Every structure is written in C-alpha cells, then in structure tokens.
Amino acid sequence: MPLNVEEIAVCVACENSVSESTVDATNHNVSNGDTIRRMLVLPCLHIICTDCLESVQKGKLENSPGIFPCPECGYIIQGLHSAAFKTLPDIFMNSVINNNNHGAIEGRTFCTTCDMLVTPEEVDFNHREHEIVPLKQMLKGKKEYIATLLNSVNAKISHSESIQKQTLIAKDHLRKTRKELTAEIAERSRKLIEMIRSREKELLAELDAVCEERLEWFAEETNSQNRNLKIFQNSREFADKIICEGSGDDLLEFHNEISARLLHLIHRVKDASLDLLSMKMDLPDPGKEVSHLEKLFGTLTQGRISCGDAQMLQKFNVGLKWPTSLVATKTRDIVIAGKEGTFDSRGRLLFYDRHAKLLRTHEYEESKCIPYDVTCALDGTIYASDNKGSLTKFSADKTSVMANMFKGTSGRLALTTANHLLVTSSEEKCIWEYDSLGSKIRRLPPSGHLPSVANPHCLATNSNNDIIISELQGHKVSVYNSEGIIKFCYTGGSTASEELKCPSSVCCDPFNNILIADFTNDSIHLVSQSGQFLGHLLTKDNSISCPNFVSLDHEGHLFIGQYGGDISVYRYLSCVKHA
C-alpha cells in the first residue's frame, strides 16, 4: 500500500524533496515521475539517496574506503556496504530502540528483566511487560550490594587475621609446651633408669642366692648318689660272687633285680649331671645389659603356646576342702588360706615349708570367719584378709589384727612395686592403697567407681602396676592401669575351647603375662599383657580338676590349688611349649 513520505523522503546531501512521491512500504523505493530512487536511512537516522551515497563514499575519504561522515551531522559511518542498509524499520529498531548510538544520553531507565539500559521509546516498544526501574534506583541498589559485598570481604579479612594471630599464639604455646614435655620425659626416664638399676642389684643378689642354694643342693644330691652307686656296685660284686659260688633260679632273679636297679641308678646320675649343666650360669657382666630374670626363668616371647611336658614337682593335700589362696615367701615357705567343707566351719591359715611339711596352723577364733586372700610383702610380712573386713598381719616377731580395712564381701589383696598393699572394697566399689603401717595412701579411682570391684574374686598386679581383677559372675578378667582406667577385658580366646567360664584366680609372671585359673573348664589360661590368648598352660589332661587358685613364686614354681585340698607344684617353664 503506498505511503506518503513527502516530508520524510528528503536527501540530506542533495536536499531534494520529492513532491507527490510515493514510497513502497515493501521495498522503500521512492517514485517521482519517471525517476525511481532508492532511499536509504543512515545509522544516525538521516536519509540519503543511493546516488548521493555513492558520491559521498568516493569523494570524501579516498584514503579510507568504507568510512565517511554523514553530510548532515558529521556522524562517522564505518564499514557500510549494501548489506548494512536494510529496511527502514530494521534500521530504526537497531539505531534508536536498541540505543546503539544514543543509549548513554537517551537512557534514563533500566530493565531488570533484560539487565540493560533502555530509553522511554524502547519501554513502549519492546519492554512493556518487563520490570522497569529508574536508573538512579538501579544504581542505588547496585551500590548497596557492592557495599554489602565489601563489608563481607572486610569481615572475612578480619576473621582471617584473627585466625592467623591465634595460630601464632598456638605455635608459641606449643613450642613452650614441647620444651616442658621434653624436660619432664627426660626427668622421668632418668628416675626410671635409676629404679631399674636399683632393682637390678636386688635381682642379682636374689639370683646369686638361688644359684648358690641350688649348687649346694646338687652337691648334696651328687654325694648321696655316689654313695648309693658305691653301695650298688658292692651289691653287684656280692651278687656275682654268690652266682659264681651257687646256682638256682632264685639267685638268677636276684642278680637280674640288682642289675636293673644299678642301671636305673646310673641313668639317674646322668640325668642329674645334665640338670647341673643346664643350671650353671656365667657370672653377670656389668658391661652387658642382660635380663637376669630371663636367665633364671628362660625367655618367654609372646606367641601362641600349647601345653608342654608339664613337670610336676610335688603334690600334697592340705585337708581344706576350699583352699582360697596361696602365697610363697622368700624363705620358700608356703602359706595357704581356706576352710573346711561345712558351712559354719572356721577358716584356717596353714604354714608349710618347701618340703610340704606343716609348720603351724592359725585358726580364726570367730565362727564363720573365712580368710579371703593372703599375700606376702618384700620384707616377709604376711597379710591375710577375712570376710569380716579385717586384715591379719603376720610379721617376724608378732601377729596383729587391723579391723575395718574394707567394706563388703571383698578384701582381695595385691602388692605394688613400691610394696604398698591394695585392698578391694565391694561396697565402695573401689580399691584402697595402704602403706606398710596400715595408713591409707589413696583411693582408686580417685572419684567414681570400678564396676569390677562390685564382686571381685581375685586381685593381682604386674611390674607396670597394672591391676588385674577376676569376676566369677561376669566370666571375665578386667585389667586397669595404675590410675584405675580400664585397659581391656578378657573373656577367652576366639574358639569355643578357649572360652573363659569361671575365672577363679589370677596372677602374673615376670614378663607381665597373665595366668588365669578356669574353675569350670579345668584349665589354666596364659594371656599376654595386651589381652591376647596365648594358650592353655595346663588342662584336665594334666590331672587338673576345679582349680581354685594359681600362684607363682620367685623361683619359677607354679602352684595350683584345687577343690578338695590338693596342691600341685610344677616347674612353670616346663608347662610352656611354643606352637
């Protein structure tokens, strides 16, 4: 449809207006009589005809083809070619509505939907349904956002500086603490070394005494065997003489019997000689760090063990149906606590020598008074607890009773490396530590309770002053450190045959391994100081039945007390055989 553009179609170069001209809305050609011109709109919105455009491009800037100024406003136009001049609506949209040339001047509003500056004409044309805000409001919001962002950055920088200061303070404190800990560790190490050295002298003295005593005993045995050998040699010569002079089956039988006895005696002498060679030890070399206990007891490495060829030294019956505890003194005497089978029977303490000869008996005067536990201090003092809450102290010169030492059915005893006495108290659920005069030193734990002390059956300690408590009803053995903090609970090995049913007694060897008597399973468990099951020392195959207590003396003798009063004595190392 023709559109009258008389006032519009005016070329800015030739300033010719076309009267009665028409513009085709489809291709924007202007017709004037017989002449048809193509009118173009420049980016600055001025109209120029094609003839003038060609002359302007050729004549104005010859050195820069494609660059020329608008003849009307001087606007620099770059890179124009035929494709750059599109229809009038497109050029109008690109140059005015999109604000390419005049956006910074014309734009006073901001479209938040498109995130761009727009002119009022653009709002009506392309952004009617968009969110339009004034430019000042947009800039104010941006400014507030930037201020908030800067505040957040400043806060984070301040926080980082604070953390850096705290880190420097912590490093300085750690440096000071490290020096203090180093000094404390050095001081404790020095004290420990001094204690080990002082203890080493005591062990050397004990070892020398044991070796001397054993050598004297073997010398006596050797002399006795030599005398017996001489007697049997004389007997054999006499028998040979009789056989030469007489005859008969009776003389031949007599000769065979004498020969058999003589051969048996010769074998015994050879075995005794081998024992002497195995017992001989070199004098300790002060320049070498050797374990003299290992020379005395042998070396026990922590590994799986099985029952060895257990060598029983003695077996005797003490006449007590319930032997509850046993301790061996330094003089090799044995003290056994227990009672007879009747309910109202009195408890007894039996004192034996090393040859199982009864020396004396201490019988409690009060009926139904039963000794719970017995232990021996380093100075030879013997302590015995009973179910009345008292301790009986047997020293070299007198016997005294200390009452109200604990509360409840408890009173299990053990000694620390400092020769302090530990006594369990079931009502208070704690352990009291006493000195040699019977004065309280401390309570374990200092506050709170030890659950295992509610119903303990046996108490023991090792060289680290760890506390070992057996519980019959709980079917377990609990191990605490010297401050009363739990280390582990032992309930048996990984298989059914290694299960712990009824731990009636516990003790420790010189290497801190734990020996546990299992009353129900008729066995003795050997457990490492970390709680690992190492094996069975003795089982019912070794004629063990209902073991009620287990104890070790300083010479490596293992005492097993059984229900019915039988006491079996073994060589401890003979019970251990590495798998």
Q: Is residue 15 part of a domain?
A: yes
**From 1-10, 126-135, 393-402, 440-449, the region with the lowest mean pLDDT:** 1-10
Do residues 308 and 271 share a domain? no
Look at the pTM and tell me if it is higher than 0.95: no
Domain that holds residue 83: 2-97
Q: Among 112-121, 401-410, 427-436, 551-560, name the most confident range.
A: 551-560
The model's confidence at residue 462, banded by pLDDT at 50, 70 and 90, is very high
Residue-level pLDDT at 13:
80
Do residues 304 and 275 share a domain? no
533, two tokens? 């099951």
Do residues 565 and 453 share a domain? yes
Would you call 125 exposed, middle or buried from its count of C-beta atoms within 10 A (0-12, 13-18, 19+)?
Answer: middle
DSSP-assigned letter for residue 283? P
Do residues 194 and 50 share a domain? no
Residue-level pLDDT at 491:
92
Measured CA to CA, the distance from residue 399 to residue 478 in angstroms comes to 34
Q: Is residue 105 part of a domain?
A: no
Between 292 and 529, where is the model more confident? 529
Do residues 449 and 344 share a domain? yes
- Longest pairwise C-alpha distance within the chain: 183
Q: Is residue 217 part of a domain?
A: yes
CA–chain centroid gap for 286, Å, is 38
Measured CA to CA, the distance from residue 94 to residue 45 in angstroms comes to 10
437, two tokens? 């005069």
CA–chain centroid gap for 497, Å, is 28
Between 526 and 76, where is the model more confident? 526
DSSP H stretches of helix in 119-134: 120-126
Do residues 413 and 518 share a domain? yes
- Is residue 402 within 8 A of residue 436, CB to CB? The reply is no
Do residues 424 and 537 share a domain? yes
Which amino acid is located at 248 in the chain? G
Do residues 358 and 494 share a domain? yes
Tell me the DSSP string of 29-61.
Answer: EEEETTEEEEEEE-TTS-EEEHHHHHHHHHHS-
Residues in Cβ contact with 262 at an 8 Å cutoff, skipping those fewer than 6 apart: 232, 233, 235, 236
Number of domains in the chain: 3
Q: Which residue has the tokens 């302590």?
A: 383
Dihedral (Cα; 526, 528, 533, 538), 10-degree rounding: -10
Which amino acid is located at 66 in the chain? G
Between 449 and 515, where is the model more confident? 515
pLDDT in tens, 417-455: 888 999 988 788 888 898 878 788 898 888 878 877 777
Q: Which residue has the tokens 């939907």?
A: 113
C-alpha count within 13 angstroms, C-beta hemisphere, residue 47: 19
Does 169 score more than 80 pLDDT?
Answer: yes
Strand partners, 480: 467, 486
DSSP H stretches of helix in 127-248: 135-245
Q: Which of 279, 308, 338 is the last residue of a domain?
A: 279
The model's confidence at residue 409, banded by pLDDT at 50, 70 and 90, is low
Does 526 score more than 70 pLDDT?
Answer: yes
- Is residue 339 within 8 A of residue 347, CB to CB? The reply is yes
329, two tokens? 């003194």
Measured CA to CA, the distance from residue 467 to residue 105 in angstroms comes to 92
Residue-level pLDDT at 214:
84
Measured CA to CA, the distance from residue 258 to residue 266 in angstroms comes to 12
Q: Which of 97, 126, 158 is the last residue of a domain?
A: 97
Mean pLDDT value across residues 374-386: 87
- Is residue 265 within 8 A of residue 225, CB to CB? The reply is yes
Between 306 and 518, where is the model more confident? 518
Q: Which pairing describes strands 430-434 and 440-444: parallel, antiparallel, or unpaired?
A: antiparallel
Residue-level pLDDT at 4:
43
**From 59-73, 209-223, 370-384, 544-558, the region with the lowest mean pLDDT:** 59-73
What are the φ and ψ backbone dihedral angles of 113, each rounded to 5 degrees?
Answer: -70, -45
Q: Write the CATH number for 80.
A: 3.30.40
Q: What is the mean pLDDT of the chain?
A: 76
What does the H/E/C string look like for 335-400? EEEEECCCCCCCEEEEEECCCCCEEEEEECCCCCCCEEEEEECCCCCEEEEECCCCEEEECCCCEE
Q: Write the CATH number for 350.
A: 2.120.10.30
Q: Is residue 107 part of a domain?
A: no
CA-wise closest residue to 71 among 9, 10, 13: 13
What are the φ and ψ backbone dihedral angles of 408, each rounded to 5 degrees?
Answer: 95, 175
Sign, CA torsion 121/124/126/132: positive
Between 300 and 355, where is the model more confident? 355
Residue-level pLDDT at 558:
92
Q: Which of 97, 117, 147 is the last residue of a domain?
A: 97
Q: Is residue 126 part of a domain?
A: no
Do residues 376 and 493 share a domain? yes
Which amino acid is located at 87 in the chain? T
What are the φ and ψ backbone dihedral angles of 77, each rounded to 5 degrees?
Answer: -115, 125
The model's confidence at residue 114, banded by pLDDT at 50, 70 and 90, is confident
Share of the chain above pLDDT 90, in %: 16
Total Cβ atoms within 10 A of residue 399: 11
Does 478 score more than 90 pLDDT?
Answer: yes
Do residues 269 and 154 share a domain? yes
- Measure Cα distances from 115 to 96, 127, 145 in Å: 18, 11, 16
Q: Is residue 77 part of a domain?
A: yes
Do residues 424 and 533 share a domain? yes
Does 2 score more than 70 pLDDT?
Answer: no
Measured CA to CA, the distance from residue 355 to residue 307 in angstroms comes to 26
DSSP-assigned letter for residue 85? -
Collapse the DSSP code of 564 into the 3-class scheme (helix H, G, I; strand E, B; otherwise coil) and give the result.
coil
Q: Is residue 286 part of a domain?
A: no
Q: Is residue 235 part of a domain?
A: yes
Q: Which residue has the tokens 């440096």?
A: 175
- Is residue 551 within 8 A of residue 557, CB to CB? The reply is no
Residue-level pLDDT at 61:
47
- Measure Cα distances from 416 to 410, 435, 507, 514, 559 in Å: 19, 10, 13, 16, 21
Terminal Cα-to-Cα distance of the chain (whole angstroms): 114
Residue-level pLDDT at 348:
87
Give the CA angle between residues 501, 518, 567 to the nearest 5°: 155
Do residues 251 and 323 share a domain? no
